[in-house]
Chains A and B, each alone.
Chain A
């Protein structure tokens, strides 16, 4: 095995693409190292991308949006006051990944590219409308976060492509986001259901909404029907019930020790209502 820690993105992409399927990208390593220690993967080359400024920086754009490097750790992002104020729901997702120790290293890029349907930060990023920039041997392209996972452990990244950064749009006035998940324990488990909601209230009326749903299908989902059920309403009970029903209808979960299909499907609706209430409350403060 070879270890490289290039300082330029071009060098990283050249080495990674050159290694073909034997290469692995190391950001926080909280999934990769576990897979290596379990003998699930034996990379021929590890490309540590944390010495590349573009994938480890946090930048506020002139319009008030944010560009967050794919390898920024949860601990580092949490300390960025501007981002924390604008996107509390995204931080809620990131800060539920593993323990304090794990959050010291775990990144948004790794959480997304690991391809887990239960990835906590992903429904919140989907709700936020975050866009991932990837770069590979054929250049750069942008992918909406919801279009990245294609199945458990699988993504739409092409061979040789590296996740570079996430673009979060400017936080509009009257907009708020939140993320909630259900786990059987108080801490340190993976989601049975995770819901991210990002919505705008103008004069009490919901004028935009996005809903991300995790751990209830082979990939994290953007639930457009749930958003439609909220838009144009004052988030009265009937609207929340309709959005909850849309979330439950979108579920295609597994049955496992953490939750049955029936339980996960029902909880998806319950969590939608609770998450929307928090997002609405936050929208009054922006």
Chain B
């Protein structure tokens, strides 16, 4: 299969890679670019562990061809902290123990950030529905939902 040359932006930095036409964005992130934060859970868009944003929209990187990244801006969990400073969501997930094994955590954080970017004051129901595409089999959801709501409250207070 002839490889395609893709020019894209990942976490704010220009990036180029070669991919076969059938490679997914998730495969390229993990296998070529050493960005292993996004996880492959189901490979069919059900679990959300591979969540990234594409031009600001939350998507599953397992259901996206890497070739589709041409000219687009991608953010992954690796771009969430600023240097050594964690994003408030990351900090709150730690403080409130909103994670156990951590497989789902990158997707949860990316999805939660996308929600708070769009809606700084979500209700608990809105958070639960927004995160319905992110499966967690360890923690259960209550601590995650609480961490997202508490972060939202802190960020509103800080702004």
A residues apposed to B, CB below 8 Å: 1-3, 5, 26, 29-30, 33-34, 36-38, 46, 48, 50, 73, 75-76, 98-102, 104-105, 186-188
Contact = CB atoms under 8 A, between A and B. Distances in A.
Interface string B1-29: 11010000000000000001110100000
Interface of B: 1-2, 4, 20-22, 24, 43-46, 48, 51, 54, 57-60, 62-65, 67-68, 70, 111, 114-115, 129-134
A37 B41 CA distance: 13
A33 B48 contact: no
A99 B133 CA distance: 5
Contacts of B131: 100
Nearest to A185: B132
Select the residue from A1, A34, A73 with max chain B CB neighbours within 10 A: A34
Given A104-B54, A104-B59, 6 more contacts: A1-B22, A29-B65, A75-B58, A99-B46, A99-B134, A105-B59
A105 B133 contact: no
Contacts of A1: 1, 20-22
Given A37-B44, A104-B57, A30 B133 contact: no
Contacts of A187: 129, 132
B1 A34 contact: no
A46 B66 CA distance: 13
Nearest to B4: A3
A188 B130 CA distance: 11
B65 A102 contact: no
Shortest 4 CB-CB contacts between residues of A and residues of B = A99-B133, A3-B21, A187-B132, A104-B59
A188 B133 contact: yes
A48 B133 CA distance: 25
Nearest to B60: A101
B55 to A, nearest CB: 10
A100 B65 contact: no
Given A3-B4, A29-B63, A104-B59, A34 B130 contact: no
Contacts, number: 90
B121 to A, nearest CB: 17
17 contacts: A1-B20, A34-B45, A37-B44, A46-B21, A50-B68, A75-B57, A75-B58, A98-B133, A100-B111, A100-B130, A100-B131, A100-B132, A101-B48, A101-B58, A102-B60, A102-B133, A105-B63
Given A1-B22, A100-B111, A100-B133, A33 B68 contact: no
B112 to A, nearest CB: 11
B45 to A, nearest CB: 6
Contacts of B64: 29, 33, 105
Contacts of A2: 2, 21
B48 A99 contact: yes
Given A102-B60, A104-B58, A33 B65 contact: yes
Contacts of A104: 54, 57-59
A235 B20 CA distance: 58
A37 B51 contact: no
A34 B21 contact: no
B37 to A, nearest CB: 16
A91 to B, nearest CB: 15
A34 B64 CA distance: 10
B67 A34 contact: no
A8 B59 CA distance: 25
Contacts of A3: 4, 21-22, 65, 67
Contact of A188 (B58, B114, B132): B132
Nearest to B70: A5
Nearest to A187: B132
A285 B46 CA distance: 37
A75 B57 CA distance: 8
